[in-house]
A and B are shown apart, each in its own frame.
Chain A
C-alpha cells in the first residue's frame, strides 16, 4: 500500500516532466575498438562511423578507444577509453527528474511479498538443484571488476561533459548493481563531485563523508581522502 502510494506520487511528479522524449544518436568518429549491442541481443558488433544508435542500444569502448557521438540536438558526446554506456543514459534529465528516478529506484527495491517457504511439489528439487552448467559460467571476479570499471568510466564521461544529473543516476545504478564491490570510495567520491556540481551541498557532503568508510590502503585512496576532506571543508 505504501509502495503504491509512493509510486503514484512519483508518477504525478514525472508526468509533468515528460520523461519519455525519444533520443537517437549517431557515431560521427571513433578510434580503437568500439562495439555496440542492439537492444536485448546477446552479441556485440563492431561500430562504424555514421552508424545510428537507438535509445535501447549500448556502446562499449576498448582499452585505447574513443568514440564521438552526435546528439539529436546537434551537440556531441565523447566517450573515452574502457567505458560502457546505455544510449538511454544520454537523455538529459533535470534535477527534479533525477530526484524522482532515485526515489522510484528505491521504492521498486521494496520487496512486495514474503518468499514462498516451500515448494509445492516433490519433483522440483532437480529444477532448483545445482545447475549442470556449474559455476564455471558464473561471472568471474575479473569480469565483474571489468564491467564495474567500464560502467564507472561511463558515469565519469557523463560527469565530465556536464550531464551531472545523469551521472548521479548512473552512479547510483552502479552502487545498486555492485553492492559488495570494494571501490576504495571511488563511486562515492564521483557522486560527491556530481552533487557538488549541481550545488547540492548537503548530498555532496554526505557522499564525500561516505568515501572515508570505503578507503583502501593505497596512494589513490590517500589522495581521494585528502580531496574529500578539502571538499567537505569547502562545502561547509
Chain B
C-alpha cells in the first residue's frame, strides 16, 4: 500500500514538474558537483585488527568539481569547462610503532562540449545530455611516514593529457536552477597507476542565467492598415491590419498563433489561429482585430496601440509581445475609397427600419402604378423630400484630409447632407426594403471634385423595360449572377427636394453623358460599386 502511494506521488510529481516545465534552459550557468570516482585507483576500505594494535583505512575516489557552461549560438550545444579534484587517502597505523598516511589527488582541467538531447523537441523539466571533452589531468601524491626514528615526508606529481565521455540529466524545476546527475568515463593514463581510466558518478547543482533558448523569432511587424476608420469595423474582422513575420528556430515544426488587442477599442483579443511552421520556415502571419462599440463612438482622431502577442507551441507554450501604433479616426471619417462607403450604409439600424416602415405605411407602394421596386423607391424618396431634407454642398476638403460621411440617422436628424450623405441615406432605406443598390462614382478628369449618385435594382428584367420607360437611356441594363439582364435605375439623390422623377431623369442623363457618351465607364472614371 505504501509502495503504491509512493509510486503515485512520484508520478504526480513528475507530471506536475512537466506542467510547470521551464522549457529550454538558459544560455549560461555555473555549478558544483560532488562525485565518486574510480580513477584514483583502489577501492574504499577500512580495516582494524582484532587486537587493536593496527588499523588500515583507504578512502578513495571522493571528489568535487566546479563547472561553467555557455550555449553555442542558438543551438543545443554548450561549451563546458570544469575544474575538479578527486582524492584518495590511505592510512596504515601500528600502535606505538609507526603510522603511514598517503594522500593522492587527481585534478582535471577539462574543456568539453555538452549536447542537450531533448531540449529542442520537448520543453521538459528533465533534460538529458551527452558530453565529452579533453584536458590535462594533474596527479599528485604525498607520503607522511612517522616512525620511532623520526618523520619522513615525500611527494610526487605528474601531468597527463586525457579526456572524458559520458552523459547525464539535468532536472530543471525553475528556469534558473538545475539539479544534475552525471556519469562519465575518463580516459587518462598515469604511469604510476595500473588502471588509471575509470568512471565518475556525480551529483550537482547549477545556477543559470541569460536568455532562454528561443524557439521562434519575430523578424518583422508590418502594420498594413495604420489608419483605422470606425465605420469599417467589420472589415477589420477579416482584413489583416498587420503582418507579423515569424521564423521557426526550434529545429522541428512548431505552431504559432498571433493574438491582437487594441487597447481601449477591442472587446476581446483576436487569435489568428495556430499556423504550422516547418523547421526553419519563415512566414507572415496576418493579424485581424475585433473592435467593440467604443470604436464606433470615437469622436476624434486619436493614436492607439495594437498589442500583438505571439505564442508558439512546441510541447509547452512560449510567448513574445510586440506593439505597434495605429491611428483611430473619428466615427464619420471616410478615406474617400468608394468601395468603403458601403460601410456607412446601415439597413439593419433599428431607426432606419422604423423610418422605412413609416414611409411605406403612409403611402403604400401597392397603390402606385409604378412597376417592380420603383413604387417603393419612389415612395421613400418622396417621403424624404417631404421631410424637408436638403442637399448641402461639401466644404472644400483637401485631398489629404478625411471626408466626413453622415450615417442615415444623422442625416435624418440634421435634415441636410452632401452627395455622399444623401446617397448613404437613400441606400440604407432601399437596402432595408430588400432592394439592391450600387454607388455610381464619377471622377471626371475635367473637374476637381468627385460626385456620387445611386443605382437601384428595379426588380424588372430587361425584357420588361417598356413597363417603366420607352427610352432605354433612362435605365441601365446589368447582368445578375443568374445570367439575367435586369434593369437598374439611376437616381441623383442630391435632388431629393425636387422629387423622384426629376432625380431619376437627372441621374439617367448624368449616366448617359459621363458614362456612355464620354466613355467614363470604359475609361473607368465612372465606376459602379455594388453595396454589399
A-side residues, CB < 8 A to B, are 7-8, 10-11, 14-15, 19-20, 37, 39-42, 55-56, 58, 88, 100-101, 104, 108-116, 119-121, 123-124, 126-128, 131-133, 137-139, 143-144, 177, 179
Contact = CB atoms under 8 A, between A and B. Distances in A.
30 contacts: A10-B522, A14-B522, A40-B474, A42-B470, A55-B517, A56-B509, A56-B513, A104-B521, A112-B438, A112-B528, A115-B482, A119-B434, A120-B432, A121-B356, A121-B433, A123-B360, A124-B433, A124-B434, A126-B364, A127-B433, A127-B459, A128-B372, A133-B369, A133-B371, A137-B466, A137-B467, A138-B463, A138-B464, A139-B464, A143-B466
Contacts of A131: 371-372, 467
Contacts of B524: 7-8, 10-11
Nearest to B375: A127
Contact of A14 (B356, B464, B508, B523): B523
B353 interface: yes
Interface string B109-144: 000000000000000000000000000000000000
A8 B530 CA distance: 18
Interface in B481-521: 481-482, 485, 505, 508-509, 512-513, 516-519, 521
A19 B522 CA distance: 10
A15 B523 contact: yes
Given A56-B509, A56-B513, A132-B366, A42 B434 contact: no
A11 B434 contact: no
A116 B434 contact: yes
Contact of A111 (B375, B480, B509, B521): B480
Interface string B440-471: 00000000000000000001001111110111
B504 to A, nearest CB: 9
A17 to B, nearest CB: 9
Interface residues of B, number: 59
Contacts of B222: none
Contact of A19 (B357, B371, B459, B523): B523
B459 A40 contact: no
Given A15-B523, A41-B471, A115-B480, A121 B434 contact: yes
B479 interface: yes
A39 B513 CA distance: 9
B365 interface: yes
B427 interface: no
B471 A37 contact: yes
A148 to B, nearest CB: 12
Given A40-B473, A56-B517, A143-B466, A109 B436 contact: no
Nearest to A11: B524
B373 interface: yes
Q: Which 9 A-B pairs have the closest CB atoms?
A: A119-B434, A11-B524, A139-B466, A104-B522, A19-B519, A131-B371, A40-B508, A20-B518, A112-B530
Contacts of A112: 438, 528-530
Given A121-B434, A137-B466, A139-B464, A127 B365 contact: yes
Contact of A56 (B365, B473, B528): B473
B258 interface: no
B102 to A, nearest CB: 90
Given A113-B532, A131-B371, A14 B466 contact: no
A154 to B, nearest CB: 14
Given A114-B481, A127-B459, 20 more contacts: A11-B523, A19-B518, A19-B523, A39-B473, A39-B509, A40-B505, A41-B471, A42-B474, A108-B521, A120-B432, A124-B433, A127-B435, A131-B371, A132-B369, A133-B371, A133-B467, A138-B463, A138-B464, A138-B467, A139-B465
Contacts of A11: 522-525
Interface centre among B369, B372, B466 (most CB of A within 10 A): B466
Contacts of B333: none
B328 interface: no
Given A111-B479, A116-B434, A121-B353, A128 B459 contact: yes
Interface of B: 347-348, 353, 356-357, 360, 364-366, 369, 371-373, 375-376, 431-436, 438, 459, 462-467, 469-471, 473-474, 477-482, 485, 505, 508-509, 512-513, 516-519, 521-525, 528-530, 532
A104 B526 CA distance: 13
A123 B357 CA distance: 9
A11 B347 CA distance: 34
A15 B485 CA distance: 29
Contacts of A114: 481
Contacts of A144: 463
Contacts of A123: 357, 360
Contact of B466 (A10, A138, A177): A138
Contacts of B376: 124, 127
Contacts of B532: 113
Nearest to A19: B519
B157 to A, nearest CB: 83
A116 B479 CA distance: 14
A225 B115 CA distance: 87
A116 B531 CA distance: 11
Nearest to B369: A133
A59 B512 CA distance: 16
Nearest to B372: A131
Nearest to B512: A56
Given A126-B366, A127-B365, A139-B464, A88 B516 contact: yes
A104 B516 CA distance: 12
A113 B530 contact: yes
B500 to A, nearest CB: 14
A114 B509 CA distance: 28
